[in-house]
Structure 1
Amino acid sequence: MMVMLRLLLRWCLICLLVSISNISNISALHHDYNTRSSLRSSSTKLLSSSRRSHPHHHHQYQQSNHSPPPLKVALIGAGLLAAGSHAPVLQQLEQNVRCVAVWSRNFENAASLASQMNGAMPTDSFEEILKSPHIDALILSTPIDVQSDMVLQALQAGKHVLSEKPLAVSMDQAHALMEEYEAAFEDDLVWNVAGDYKYASAVRFSHKAMEEIGKPFLVSLKVRAPFLKSSHYSEAMWRNQPDWYGGMIVEAFVHASSMLQRLFGSPLCVSAHTSSQTPHIPSLDTMTAQVTWDREIQGTVSVTYASTQNEFELEVIGSQGRMVLKRLYEGNPSNGNSAGGSGGSGNGFYRLSVENASDRYHQDIPFGGLDSDILAFSDSIQYGNHVPRFNTPQDALQDLELVDACLESGKLNGARILLPPDMDPIHQKNYGGRNEPPITVDHLSEDMAEEMSPWATTKSNSQQQYQPRGVDRYGHLDDGRTKWHGKERLT
């Protein structure tokens, strides 16, 4: 009898526990349903808990034997780039970087992308993103004409930032942003500028392969990237009606510029011609340029975004061999889904070929780079100066300087533009470092710009008269028309 009573009591206890568990599960499901049905309000509540005691919250991470918790980021933007590149990479990196929020001006777009991000909350309030204590950093995937303002707002709110290339839409804007970052935020906050080529395996292998071809002396870069009228990438209003000079050249060629800087360093001078070849891209879309890196490395760049076919090829000739990096496409190579330089999207791979006196081989390398960009960004925040950085704002500024120098040369019918990198005394001597004040192209009148063209006849001008000086000892046209490029000019 006692045994049966104990069994009955035990059965009652089990039933009671099961009932409590079911009630808890039903309550959780009901809460989840209510959360999903009122997604906008719940996400706003989650994101808007303000940091009253620390309005400029700076995270301090210490490197230890244990892996730090995942960096909590907000993905800013829900367009083609965010959905096609950033979101998939963030999903792969959840153990290191966790996307907790997605912002878009269109809440439905934010909600749609957030639903793929394992619990990320959508919002259309950028202010709530900035105020949220649950967000460590922002990853920007926004149009480049609004990006600079967002970078500054994020830094002012105490957020780390990973923005897209280019750094800004003009050199003046880039310098102003850089100066503010260096003065007020650089010691506490990490700001990286994503440049897939800085970390792409194809570029790293190419850099290593150049050791096998001796001293490089001739470079040829060919980029053909279709932005067809039928492509989704051509429909964006900010791309159809750019409010900055250079249009597609600024937006897309900056990726290739990043690669050239990574492999060969900062150029010393460029001479370029630019044009617009297709009506549905109302900006410059085609460019050829001669680029000189030092006394022993020179090359040509040929790029167009008005092509109907996709093609990318970098050839480097060295004293002991030749290296070629070629992008090969799978499926339809002319679908217009490439920016012609980022290397982080599309189907296909790179083929790196090396030839020298003793060896000839090639290796296939998958596309990629954005994953390494995001991991490097996270590590820079988590571990500070222990992590090398190749995509700092200073690096991005140099990338943009090359693009802007090409555009300035194009305005002047191919006039030679000298860039102002950290030139050593030999380069200053060889490339015309003079004592007279340098000419600032940005403030020239159209008449002055015209007469500074190498093919223009010499004119008199009320401000200055340019007289031909012949050819200098290094074989360069020394006509007094050479201009220093950039804000910091050599004197």
Structure 2
Amino acid sequence: MAMAMDGEITRQPAMALLGCGVFARDAYIPVLQALGTSITLRFVWSRSQAAAQEMVQRVKGFAPDADAEWGEEGLEHILASPFVQCCAIVLPILSQPGIVMRALRAGKHVLQEKPVAGSVEIGLQAMHAYHGMHHEAPIWAVAENYRFEPAFDEAGKLVKSLGTMVAVTVAIEVPMTKSNKYFDCEWRRDPSLKGAFILDCGVHFVAGLRVMTGCDIKLVTAIATHRDATVPAPDTLTTLIRFDNGCSGTMVISYASSVSKACWRVVCSRGTVVVERGVREGKLGYIVTLNPRGGEGESSSQFFPFSGLEEEWRTFIADVQRSNGSPDLRSSPREALKDLAIVEAALASGLHADAPVSVKPASI
């Protein structure tokens, strides 16, 4: 429960949105509006006054009492406020972990945007600090919403029903042109961010792959290339994967493509399952196709509209209301760190040696 400014007890959590960039504006704001009375937006914060004030005007239609804060003083005010139970943190990767830990230490539940950190090392440091809070720790959730997409859950059930996994293919193609709203994002072009767009979004694709296969990845061998001078290097990563069940696969992620494609394909001993991004009846989503082995059943196709982001938020709010101290497993920092470790290992192989790299630490 939360206490309103006039002393009235309310049941919905009060939250602060830390970060006013493109994704916060175009993805989080519509979801917060759709959630309605299940959560109260109390503050929006940015490093700059202009961004915070522009964002607060956007939310006034559904959060009329929200205030804008900015800079270090504004952040301190939010973290000290007894009227804020949770923070949604949508900031540049390299600066985000420090603010996440400040919010957690201030007793605020946190839903942070992926990836969990810019490196496994920093992510592990944050996890160790978090675990040091013991039973008094607030909830820490990481937003990698592909785990919440019903399409991958359904695909995982189908894969499990089809016997032994034989081979896996993932193809992600994204035209990172000037028409893409993330093209001019300065922090994604920071040389200190090793892996650029691939590190940022690769954890999404790996999360979907792990849900669909139900497997962890032990070893990767990759080749990183740079074909588009307007996109930070590397823009393409081709990875050979060895799963912990002995199956092998490939994953190609390219931000130098001329067309958009997102496809996960798992070949099993009794059939094949494909998840592919598509459109039906004007809605964006995923098409899940089952092709059984000849003579063992009919092929089928199901369409699932995008819903992962909203489902992730609803789960986080429910966890906060229960106040049980731990998030749903799908949004746990541990799972997010595993995804990051896989992407980091592939980048290490592709950027430095083109040689096999074990996914470490195995004990995450």
Tell me if both proteins adopt one fold, taking TM over 0.5 as the criterion: yes
Match of 1:409 in 2: 349
1:151 aligns with 2:100: yes
Q: Deviations over 1:400-443 (max 9, x none)?
A: 11011101211343211222xxxxxxxxxxxxxxxxxxxxxxxx
**What secondary structure, in the 3-state scheme, does the structure 2 residue paired with 1:380 have?**
helix
Cα deviation digits, residues 233-264 of structure 1 (max 9, x gap): 11121112241222222111111111122233
Aligned to 1:72: 14
Amino acid of the structure 1 residue aligned with 2:120: M
Q: Does 1:201 align with 2:147?
A: no
Paired residues in the alignment total 346
Q: Which amino acid aligns with 1:87?
A: I
CA contact (8 A) 1:213 1:355 kept: no
Structure 1 or 2, whichever has the larger Rg, is: 1
The answer as to 2:44 corresponding to 1:88 is: no
Q: CA deviation at 1:185?
A: 5.5
Q: Does 1:247 align with 2:196?
A: yes
Shift of 1:291: 0.7
**One-letter identity of the residue aligned with 2:265:** E
Structure 2: distance between partners of 1:358 and 1:190 = 45
CA contact (8 A) 2:167 2:266 kept: yes
CA distance in 1, matches of 2:323, 2:270: 40
Equivalent residue letter for 1:201: P
2:362, 2:196 → 1: CA distance?
21
What is the alpha-carbon distance in structure 2 between the residues aligned to residue 417 and residue 354 of structure 1? Answer: 33
Hey, what's the Cα distance between the residues in 2 that align with 1:487 and 1:318?
26
Gap regions ≥5 residues in structure 1: 1-45, 50-67, 332-345, 420-484
Task: Provide closer, same or farther for how the CA distance between residues 89 and 295 of structure 1 changes in structure 2, counting only shifts above 3 A.
Answer: closer
CA–CA distance in structure 1, aligned partners of residues 253 and 135 of structure 2: 35
Asked if 1:281 is matched to 2:231, the reply is yes
Q: Distance in 2 between matches of 1:111 and 1:350?
A: 36
Counterpart Cα distance in 2 of 1:227 and 1:186? 44
Residue in 1 aligned with 2:118?
A: 169
The separation in 2 between residues aligned to 1:185 and 1:305, in whole angstroms, is 41
TM-score, reference length from structure 1: 0.66
Q: CA deviation at 1:213?
A: 2.7
Residue 348 of structure 1 aligns with which residue?
284
The residue matched to 1:308 in structure 2 has which SS? Answer: strand
Alignment of 1:255-404 (within 5 A): 255-263=204-212, 264-329=214-279, 348-356=284-292, 357-385=296-324, 388-404=328-344
> Whose relative contact order is higher, 1 or 2, with alpha carbons under 8 Å and at least 6 apart?
2
Paired position in structure 2 for 1:141: 90
- Kindly provide the amino acid, as one letter, of the partner of residue 306 in structure 1: A
> What is the rounded CA distance, in whole Å, between the counterparts of 1:488 and 1:349 in structure 2?
34
> Matched residues in 1 for 2:105 and 2:82: separation?
14
In the alignment, the residues of structure 2 paired with residue 370 and residue 303 of structure 1 have an alpha-carbon distance, to the nearest angstrom, of 22
Q: What residue identity is the alignment partner of 2:241? A: V
Q: How far did residue 73 of structure 1 move?
A: 0.9
What SS does the aligned partner of 1:301 have?
strand
Aligned letter for 1:183?
G
What letter matches 1:164 in structure 2? E
Residue type at the aligned position of 2:51? N
Q: Helix, strand or coil: the match of 2:266? A: strand
Distance 2:356 2:182 in 1: 33
Structure 2 vs 1, CA of residues 265 and 97 (structure 1 numbering), >3 Å: closer, same or farther?
A: farther
Distance 2:149 2:321 in 1: 22
SS in 2 for 1:115: helix
Structure with greater strand share of residues: 2
Letter in 1 for 2:229: P
Range that drifts further, 101-110 or 296-305 = 101-110
SS in 2 for 1:271: strand
Q: Could you tell me which amino acid in structure 2 is paired with residue 300 of structure 1?
A: T
Q: Deviations over 1:460-482 (max 9, x none)?
A: xxxxxxxxxxxxxxxxxxxxxxx
Deviations 1:10-66 (A, max 9, x none): xxxxxxxxxxxxxxxxxxxxxxxxxxxxxxxxxxxx99x9xxxxxxxxxxxxxxxxx
Identity %: 28
Asked if the contact 1:380/1:389 (under 8 Å) is kept, the reply is no
Which structure 2 residues correspond to residues 45-64 of structure 1 after superposition, within 5 A?
none
- Whether contact under 8 Å (1:155, 1:185) holds in the other structure is no
Task: Please give the alpha-carbon distance, in whole angstroms, between the structure 1 residues aligned to 2:280 and 2:54.
Answer: 29
Cα deviation, residue 122, structure 1:
1.5
Look up the SS of the partner of 1:225 in the other structure: strand
Distance 1:140 1:242 in 2: 23
Secondary structure in structure 1 of the residue aligned to 2:11: coil
CA contact (8 A) 2:170 2:252 kept: yes
Secondary structure of the corresponding residue to residue 139 of structure 1 = strand
The 2-side partners of 1:101 and 1:347 are apart by: 32
Cα distance in 2 for partners of 1:71, 1:242 equals 38
Distance 1:211 1:230 in 2: 40
* Aligned-pair CA distance for 1:278: 1.5
Q: Which amino acid aligns with 1:293?
A: F
Deviates more, 1:169-178 or 1:181-190: 181-190
Query: Secondary structure of 2:14's partner?
Result: strand
By how many angstroms is 1:199 displaced? 0.8
1:347–1:149 CA distance, 2 compared to 1 (3 A) = farther
Give me the TM-score of the superposition, normalised by structure 2: 0.88
CA RMSD of superposed structures (Å):
2.4
How far has the Cα of 1:143 moved from its partner? Answer: 1.2
SS at match of 1:78: coil
Give the 3 Å change call, closer, same or farther, for CA 284–347 of structure 1 in structure 2: farther
SS in 1 for 2:257: coil
Q: Is the 8 A contact 2:329 2:335 kept in 1?
A: no
Of 117, 123, 147, the residue aligned with 2:69 is: 123
